[in-house]
Amino acid sequence: MPRRPLAAVILAALVLAGCDDDMSSQRKDKTWHAAEPLPNGLQWPPTAPAGMVGRAAPEPPPALSLALLQRGRQRYDIACAPCHAATGEGDGIVVERGFPAPPPLDEPRIVAAPTRHYVDVIARGYGIMYSFAERVAPRDRWAIAAYIRALQRARAATPAEVPADRAKALR
């Protein structure tokens, strides 16, 4: 083997031999001493200018309307009904195929939860339910939550509460 490639191989071996996985000897800031101030009087984290909404600000709930409920039903049927079923009973098609059943949406502890909780569960997931943040837009989360409230109200309704003109259609 010629001298130059042999020297390069030996040098590479020596350099690599000096590497290890122990990072305790690295230069780094320790958590027990204060950081130096940023140049030019800047602060971290930066503060938002007056009148601007922060990026993590929650979406405010929209006004309740028939259009919102219709959008909520459409989005619920797409994203939620496979597990929760169209009725909210928790026996959707995915459950029929062996997936664990979610609790019925008219369960007292779920009905007692604030509507914002449903929006957060859709965004972040809960228990074995994964996050739908990438699949359901923030405004649609509120629409689904409104529709869930309508489902809960419908499941708790009695025949006496049905308007007379609608009661004939149900017979």
Average pLDDT over residues 151-156: 89
Joined together, the tokens standing for residue 29 give 């800031």
Least Cα distance to 125 among 64, 83, 93 occurs for 83
Question: Which residues, in sequence order, are CB contacts of 90 under 8 Å at separation 6+?
Answer: 83, 84, 101, 102, 103, 104, 105
Whether residue 147 lies inside any domain: the answer is yes
pTM for this one? 0.64
Whether residue 32 lies inside any domain: the answer is no
Least Cα distance to 134 among 124, 126, 144 occurs for 124
Residue 28 has pLDDT above 60, yes or no: yes
Residue 46 has pLDDT above 60, yes or no: no
Q: How far apart are CA 155 and CA 75, in angstroms?
A: 19
Strand partners for 126:
129
Structural domain boundaries, residue 122: 66-157
CATH of residue 135's domain is 1.10.760.10
Tens digit of pLDDT for each residue in 60-116? Answer: 899 999 999 999 999 999 999 999 999 999 999 999 999 999 999 999 999 999 999
Whether residue 15 lies inside any domain: the answer is no
Joined together, the tokens standing for residue 74 give 């459409």
Residue 144 has pLDDT above 90, yes or no: yes
Whether residue 39 lies inside any domain: the answer is no
Average pLDDT over residues 3-29: 74
Q: Which amino acid is at 67?
A: A
Q: How far apart are CA 102 and CA 104, in angstroms?
A: 6
Number of domains in the chain: 1
Whether residue 165 lies inside any domain: the answer is no
Whether residue 40 lies inside any domain: the answer is no
Whether residue 73 lies inside any domain: the answer is yes
Compute the residue count for the chain.
171
Q: What is the pLDDT of residue 151?
A: 93
Q: How far apart are CA 111 and CA 20, in angstroms?
A: 56
Whether residue 18 lies inside any domain: the answer is no
Average pLDDT over residues 26-33: 59
Strand partners for 129:
126
